């Protein structure tokens, strides 16, 4: 059985095994991305972030979580439902400004997932999650107004998975010079 296409009806938020794994690890990944301190992620943290970033719905949830102006609430983290949830205003850089430090930290930790993956020989079975993590790191760069860094990180994601939706949007936005509204 091909696990990439095997459907599951266990929840309206998750339809495929990759999405199930991403949803299960979402709270752990969210905590790892914004935990206090300057240390980058350990192996377990990188694994949780890569797993959670394998699905677009959980990455959109992480955008909503990281971009929350009032500070992230781990109890509120849940997968994004594209059929009922509005696109997070943070995705567009609208609304109250979030913490630059929180976004910068999350972006560095997302990119560390990609660096760790490259160092271990780039196993094929992890490529979607790694591309998702560095695409989220690209969004973080874009969200703080670092357009060149956002474009480079999005390019890394597209090198791994050429059709990654988040990486494509961030790459196009950065190349166009589109900046988040919250920084004026």
Q: pLDDT tens, 125-164?
A: 789 999 999 999 999 999 999 999 999 999 999 999 999 9
At 173 the pLDDT is 96
- pLDDT, mean over the chain: 87
Domains of the chain: 17-68+90-175 (1.25.40)
Write a three-state SS string for 105-165. HHHHHHHHHHHHHHHCCCCHHHHHHHHHHHHHHHHHHHHCCCHHHHHHHHHHHHHHCCCCH
Contacts of 168 (CB under 8 A, 6+ apart): 154, 158
Is pTM beyond 0.85 here? yes
Residue pair 23/58 in contact by the 8 Å Cβ criterion: yes
Q: Is the per-residue pLDDT at 40 higher than 90?
A: no
Residue pair 106/148 in contact by the 8 Å Cβ criterion: no
At 2 the pLDDT is 36
Residue pair 144/103 in contact by the 8 Å Cβ criterion: yes
Q: What is the pLDDT of residues 74-117, one digit of tens each?
A: 888 888 888 899 999 999 999 999 999 999 999 999 999 999 98
Q: What burial class does residue 51 get, using C-beta atoms within 10 Å of its C-beta: 0-12 exposed, 13-18 middle, 19+ buried?
A: buried
Secondary structure percentages of the chain, helix, strand, coil, to 5: 60, 0, 40
What mean pLDDT comes out for the span 33-58?
88
């Amino acid at each position: 059985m091909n696990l990439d296409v095997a459907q599951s009806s266990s929840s309206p938020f998750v339809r495929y095994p990759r999405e199930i794994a991403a949803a299960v690890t979402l709270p752990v990944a969210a905590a790892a991305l914004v935990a206090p301190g300057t240390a980058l992620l350990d192996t377990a943290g990188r694994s949780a972030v890569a797993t959670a970033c394998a699905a677009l719905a959980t990455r959109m949830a992480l955008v909503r979580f990281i971009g929350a102006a009032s500070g992230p609430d781990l109890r509120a983290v849940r997968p994004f439902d594209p059929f009922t949830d509005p696109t997070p205003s943070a995705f567009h850089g609208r609304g109250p400004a979030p913490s630059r430090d929180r976004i910068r930290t999350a972006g560095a930790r997302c990119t560390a997932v990609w660096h760790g993956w490259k160092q271990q020989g780039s196993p094929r079975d992890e490529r979607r999650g790694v591309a998702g993590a560095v695409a989220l790191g690209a969004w973080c760069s874009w969200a703080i107004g670092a357009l060149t860094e956002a474009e480079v990180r999005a390019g890394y994601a597209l090198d791994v998975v050429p059709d990654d939706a988040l990486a494509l949007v961030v790459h196009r936005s950065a190349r166009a010079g589109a900046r988040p509204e919250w920084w004026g």
